[in-house]
Structure 1
Amino acid sequence: MTSLAAVAAYVPAGRVPIEEPAGRLGLSAMQVKVFRRYHRLGEVARDPGGGLGDLLRGALDRLEGLRGQEHRVRYVLHARTFPTVTPYGHDPLRRLCEEYGLGHATAFSVGHHACASGLLALDAAGRLLAADGDPDGLALVLTGEKAFTGEAQLVPDTSFFGEGAAACLVAASGERDRMLCYATELRGEFDSEEPELALEFQRIYAEALAAAITAAVGRAGLAVDGIAAILPHNVNHQAWKQVCRILGYPRERVLLDHVTGTGHLFCADSFVNYRTAKERGLLRPGEPYVVAAAGAGLGAAFSAMVLVH
Structure 2
Amino acid sequence: MSVADGLKLVWTEAFVPEREVRVAEIGALHGLAPRQVAVMERMHGLASVRWDPDLPLLDLLVAPAGKALERAGGREGLAYLIYVHASPQVAPAHVSVARELRDALGLGDVQVFEVSQQACASALAALEIAGELLRAESPGARALVVNGEKPFTELNQMHYPIGDVMGEGATATVVSWDGPGDEVHGYAVRHDGSFADSLTLYEALPRRRFVDTSIDMIAKVVGEVLLQGGLTLGDIDHFIPSNISRVFWSQVVHALGVDRDRVFLDNLPRYGHCFAADSLINFATLRDRGRLEPGGYSLLACPGLGASFAALLLRHGAR
TM-score band w.r.t. shorter chain? over 0.9
Pair 1:303–1:67, CA change in 2 (3 A): closer
Which residue matches 1:177? 182
- 1:29-178 matches, within 5 Å, as 29-65=34-70, 69-130=74-135, 132-157=136-161, 158-178=163-183
Give the stretch that moved more between structures: 52-61 or 82-91: 82-91
Match of 1:306 among 292, 309, 313: 313
Query: 1:137-286 counterparts in 2 under 5 A?
Result: 137-157=141-161, 158-192=163-197, 193-194=199-200, 195=203, 196-286=205-295
TM-score w.r.t. structure 1 length? 0.94
In structure 2, the CA distance between the partners of 1:134 and 1:50, relative to structure 1 (3 Å rule), is same
Where structure 1 has 5 or more consecutive residues not aligned to the other structure, the ranges are none
Once the two structures are TM-superposed, the CA of residue 96 in structure 1 deviates from its matched residue by: 2.2
Task: Please list the CA deviations of residues 231-251 of structure 1 after superposition, one character each: whole Å capped at 9, or x if unmatched.
Answer: 211112222211111111111
In 1, the alpha carbon distance for the partners of 2:307 and 2:24 equals 28
State the AA in 2 paired with 1:270: S
How many angstroms apart in 2 are the aligned matches of 1:92 and 1:184?
26
Letter in 1 for 2:314: L
1:127: Cα distance to partner? Answer: 0.8
Q: CA deviation at 1:7?
A: 0.9
Contact 2:23 2:46 in 1 (8 A): yes
What do you get for the CA RMSD once the two structures are aligned? Answer: 1.6
State how far apart, in whole Å, the 2-side matches of 1:92 and 1:65 are: 21
Measured after TM superposition, the shift of residue 89 of structure 1 is 3.2
Structure 1 residue 64: Cα displacement? 4.8
Secondary structure of residue in 2 paired with 1:98: helix
Check 1:81–1:154 CA distance in 2 against 1; reply closer, same or farther (3 A cut). Answer: same
Partner SS for 1:143: strand
Counterpart Cα distance in 2 of 1:134 and 1:219: 27
Q: What TM-score do you get using the length of structure 2 for normalisation?
A: 0.91
Find the aligned partners of 1:182 and 1:129 in 2 and give their Cα distance. 17
Contact 1:176 1:285 (8 Å CA) reproduced: no
Inter-partner Cα distance in structure 2 for 1:191 and 1:64: 36
Instruction: Specify every segment of 5 or more residues in structure 2 that has no aligned partner in the other structure, as ranges.
Output: 1-5
2:140–2:178 contact (8 Å) kept in structure 1: no
Aligned with 1:6 (options 8, 11, 17): 11
Deviation at 1:29, TM superposition (A): 2.1
Counterpart contact for 1:66–1:169, Cα < 8 Å: no
Q: Give distance in 2, aligned partners of 1:26 and 1:87.
A: 27
1:174 Cα deviation from its structure 2 partner: 3.6
1:43-72: CA deviation from partner (whole Å, max 9, x where unpaired): 111122111101001212322546753241
State how many pairs are aligned: 306
SS at match of 2:112: strand
Identity %: 34
Displacement of 1:27 in angstroms is: 2.2
Give the direction of change, closer, same or farther, for the CA distance of 1:174–1:292 in structure 2 (3 Å limit).
farther
Q: d(CA) in 1 for partners of 2:269 and 2:116?
A: 26
